[in-house]
Amino acid sequence: MRNAKGCTSSHLEKASTDCNTEHFNQKVYREAIGYLLYLATFTRPDITFTVGKLSRKCHEPSVEDWKGGDKHIVKVFCDADWANDRDPKSMSGYAVFMGNCLVGWKSKRQQEVATSITHAQYISMYEA
């Protein structure tokens, strides 16, 4: 008991609340959740689940909530190699990550002939 840490919270609070948890700025956290809700509604429906889970912590966000928010967000990376002298079709590929874990990938020759590197990149993004 000599090394026990004191706790100022009431014994009536939830057992899951840790007294030693460092709290994050509530205003900044709520603003970030608002931005993410906008993205989830209009452009990124893949993050809806994660935003819903994070928004449950708006009343008392911790630093762990702020740092750990991206572990459920889906990230997609794509790239294209524009056609060379031997083959007029470009190669494109993409990788899908859930947090830091690779969950899917693909690499293939594009179906149409790209007229520029930008066109090849757009095709790659579309296929991803």
pLDDT at 63: 84
For residue 83, give Cα distances in angstroms to 87, 92, 116, 119.
6, 10, 9, 11
Same domain for 80 and 121, yes or no, is yes
Q: pTM of the prediction?
A: 0.48
* In the predicted structure, residue 120 carries a pLDDT above the cut 80: yes
pLDDT at 3: 63
First to last CA, the chain: 57
Is 9 part of a structural domain of the chain? Answer: no
pLDDT in tens, 5-45: 555 444 334 444 555 678 888 888 888 888 888 888 887 78
Same domain for 120 and 104, yes or no, is yes
Domain extent for 57 = 26-71
**What's the structural domain count of the chain?**
2
pLDDT at 6: 54
Same domain for 89 and 66, yes or no, is no
Same domain for 45 and 79, yes or no, is no
Same domain for 84 and 112, yes or no, is yes
* In the predicted structure, residue 69 carries a pLDDT above the cut 50: yes
Is 3 part of a structural domain of the chain? Answer: no
**Boundary-marking domain end, from 56, 71, 86:** 71
pLDDT at 13: 42
Say whether 71 sits in a helix, a strand or coil.
helix
Alpha-carbon distance of 41 to 90, in angstroms, equals 34
Please, are residues 91 and 110 in contact by the beta-carbon 8 Å criterion? yes
Same domain for 80 and 122, yes or no, is yes
